[in-house]
């Protein structure tokens, strides 16, 4: 594709790739084209009615319903925590699940948490700073609160691992915690491993992902009667539509 390109060329490109690529992929490619042109101080060719129409056609031809991870609600959380061992890895995994559930963190946010960001709060427990999120590229951060039960679990992990600062959750080799952050994929592997250990069926294990704690915690808040705005604040959401997708599978008995 020549640079600078034109809206008609981009629209033709979208039409040619519609059969092969998902609309979400096409949208990412448009973002890349837009970024390159801006970096080279060229006019943005994606900001045009022809490009918009081409992307709409792609969406109509390939309607997509976003796949949602299985929500790990309080009951499933307790089963996973019960499947954790008593060794250092088990203590870490139990704390990871408890913190991930309480904070509604994405998996990338969970592994980026730092021990020095834990602070006492007026609830008689601890709060932690989530420094950066997918929808917070500037790093404004948000404060998430831990329950008293989670504070106990985290304290056991920190004491056993000898952690006072740095990465809150760390890889463990030969029963020694390594001073670096876990990879986001580790969260997924831990949850699936513990789900299998808790005798979850294969279909349930397959549906669990690193996002399951965030989804399940939001669903649990709805079941507990929490309103939408406090849920959005707790999870750092800025869009009601996103939260609505998370909680659409909650079984709410409207008849009481």
CATH superfamily label, 74-246: Intergrase catalytic core (1.10.443.10)
> Residue 251 has what pLDDT?
58
Enumerate residue ranges in the chain where pLDDT < 50.
Answer: 252-256
Domain ranges across the chain:
7-61, 74-246
**What pLDDT is stored for residue 135 in this prediction?**
66
pTM for the model: 0.76
Give the residue from 200, 31, 177, 199 showing the smallest Cα distance to 96.
177
| 89-126 pLDDT per residue, tens | 999 999 999 999 999 999 999 999 999 999 998 888 99
Please name which of 62, 33, 61, 57 lies closest in space to residue 46, comparing C-alpha atoms.
33
Nearest to 26 by CA among 68, 2, 61, 78: 61
**Please, what is the end-to-end C-alpha distance for the chain in angstroms?**
60
Give residue-wise pLDDT tens across range 31-61.
Answer: 999 999 899 999 999 999 999 999 998 888 8
Please state, in angstroms and as integers, the Cα–Cα distance from residue 16 to each residue in 21, 26, 55, following that order: 10, 11, 11
* Strand arrangement of the beta sheet that strand 118-120 belongs to: 118-120, 126-130, 142-146
């Amino acid at each position: 594709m020549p640079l600078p390109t034109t809206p008609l060329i981009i629209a033709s490109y979208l039409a040619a790739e519609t059969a092969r690529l998902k609309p979400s992929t096409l949208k990412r490619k448009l973002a890349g084209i837009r970024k390159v042109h801006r970096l080279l101080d060229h006019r943005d060719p994606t900001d045009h009615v022809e490009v918009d129409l081409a992307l709409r056609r792609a969406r109509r031809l390939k309607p997509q319903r976003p796949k949602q991870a299985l929500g790990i609600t309080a009951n499933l959380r307790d089963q996973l925590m019960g499947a954790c061992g008593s060794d250092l890895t088990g203590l870490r995994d139990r704390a990871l699940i408890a913190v991930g559930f309480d904070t509604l963190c994405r998996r990338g946010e969970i592994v980026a948490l730092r021990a020095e960001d834990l602070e006492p709060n007026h609830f008689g427990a601890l709060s932690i700073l989530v420094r950066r999120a997918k929808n917070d590229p500037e790093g404004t951060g948000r404060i998430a609160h831990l329950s008293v039960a989670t504070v106990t679990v985290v304290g056991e992990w920190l004491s056993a691992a000898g952690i006072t600062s740095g990465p809150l959750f760390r890889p463990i080799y030969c029963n020694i915690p390594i001073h670096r952050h876990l990879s986001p994929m580790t969260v997924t592997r831990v949850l699936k491993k513990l789900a299998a250990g808790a005798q979850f069926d294969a279909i349930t294990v397959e549906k669990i992902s690193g996002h399951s704690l965030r989804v399940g915690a939001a669903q649990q808040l709805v079941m507990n009667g929490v309103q939408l705005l406090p849920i959005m604040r707790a999870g750092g959401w800025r869009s009601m539509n996103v939260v609505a997708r998370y909680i659409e599978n909650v079984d709410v008995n409207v008849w009481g």
